């Protein structure tokens, strides 16, 4: 689905749902077994997009700004050039990285990770959020370059990206490649990089079926491609779709914000808990214990019969 310096635009509005309904529906019409079945599916998915369009609002607000220095005792101070810090943590990506959907900076995922790292290590952590609401993988390099131009180099970076690549219908291989290039850029600048891959659209019940499953399948394929690209570039991928889906499905009213699309404070807290071990491991603070193994969640895909015939449409591009 954080935040300084550039204007932010949210794509979860009526234009997105109209585009998804039109484009996926048109592809279904072109590839279905018969003309009648094709146009029926086109109309069906357009109706699903229209329903989602009336439920999920057009967000124009920004996420809370939590940039600052986080201390082991829980206090936070403003960052200045002469401030003493032990570790510089930066976050890049989209509205989920930004923490859109919550009311205070302390509830955003980056701040929650920064506070946990400071408490767990006793280190003073500078935190900066460079993510942009509405960003896709196409914008990652610009976020990183802007930080490098300012002569800043994070020690550890977290990237959360992928949802808007799905909603923008960006090619899976191209999106994963761009993510890999961003990771390589950060690694080349001396950062340890942890990437939360594309989340699970299946938990967003405001998106009706079968459109929800169409998007879910697309997102899972993107997440798999992202995982390979991140590893190849020297980063650590974290499969958020696998690790978050069960909790979000079981408690969607608690884990999602009022817009029914972005996580709530509780949802972001769960994400921070999941991101913390690989972040600590990346900076040499995890210890000798093995990292938690992710569950095989994405293999169990809810798939209505109406969607079965569309699975071939979502093969990685």
| 259 included as an active-site residue | yes
- DSSP of 126-162: EEEE---TT--GGGHHHHHHHHHHTT---SEEEEE--
Q: Which residues contact 298 (CB under 8 A, 6 or more apart)?
A: 200, 220, 223, 239, 241, 242, 245
Q: Hey, how many other C-beta atoms are within 10 angstroms of the C-beta on 290?
A: 9
Count of alpha carbons within 13 angstroms of residue 16, beta-carbon side: 25
Which entry of 65, 106, 259, 273 is annotated as an active-site residue? 259
| 262 included as an active-site residue | yes
Q: How far apart are CA 222 and CA 123, in angstroms?
A: 35
The number of helix segments (H) and strand segments (E) in the chain equals 12, 7
CB 307 within 8 A of CB 210: yes
Positive or negative, the CA dihedral 187, 143, 4, 149 is: positive
Characterize the bridge pairing of strands 156-160 and 87-93.
Answer: parallel
Which entry of 95, 175, 264, 298 is annotated as an active-site residue? 95
| 95 included as an active-site residue | yes
What DSSP character marks residue 313? G
Structure tokens at 253: 């009213």
Which entry of 67, 155, 242, 262 is annotated as an active-site residue? 262
The residues assigned a catalytic role are 95, 259, 262
């Amino acid at each position: 689905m954080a935040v300084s310096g550039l204007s932010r635009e949210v794509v979860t509005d009526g234009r997105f749902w109209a585009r998804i309904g039109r484009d996926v529906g048109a592809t279904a019409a072109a590839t279905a077994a018969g003309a009648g079945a094709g146009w029926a599916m086109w109309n069906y998915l357009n109706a699903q997009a229209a329903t989602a369009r009336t439920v999920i609002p057009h967000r124009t607000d920004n996420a809370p700004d939590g940039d600052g220095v986080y201390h082991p005792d829980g206090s936070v101070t403003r960052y200045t050039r002469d401030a003493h810090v032990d570790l510089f943590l930066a976050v890049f990506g989209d509205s989920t990285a930004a923490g859109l959907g919550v009311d205070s900076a302390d509830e955003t995922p980056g701040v929650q990770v920064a506070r946990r790292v400071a408490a767990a290590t006793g280190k003073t952590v500078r935190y900066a959020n460079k993510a942009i609401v509405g960003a896709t993988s196409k914008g990652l390099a610009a976020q990183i370059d802007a930080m490098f131009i300012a002569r800043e180099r994070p020690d550890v970076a977290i990237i959360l990206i992928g949802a808007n690549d799905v909603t923008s219908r960006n090619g899976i291989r191209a999106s994963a490649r761009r993510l890999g290039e961003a990771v390589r850029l950060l690694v080349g600048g001396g950062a340890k990089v942890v990437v939360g891959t594309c989340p699970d659209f299946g938990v967003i019940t405001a998106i009706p079926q079968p459109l929800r499953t169409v998007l879910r399948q697309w997102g899972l394929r993107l997440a798999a491609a992202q995982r390979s690209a991140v590893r190849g570039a020297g980063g650590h991928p974290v499969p958020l779709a696998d690790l978050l889906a069960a909790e979000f499905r079981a408690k969607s009213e608690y884990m999602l914000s009022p817009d029914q699309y972005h996580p709530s404070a509780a949802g972001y807290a769960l994400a921070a808990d999941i991101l913390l071990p690989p972040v600590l491991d990346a900076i040499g603070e995890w210890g000798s214990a093995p990292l938690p193994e992710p569950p095989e969640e994405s293999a169990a895909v809810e798939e209505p019969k109406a969607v079965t015939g569309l699975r071939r449409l979502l093969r990685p591009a």
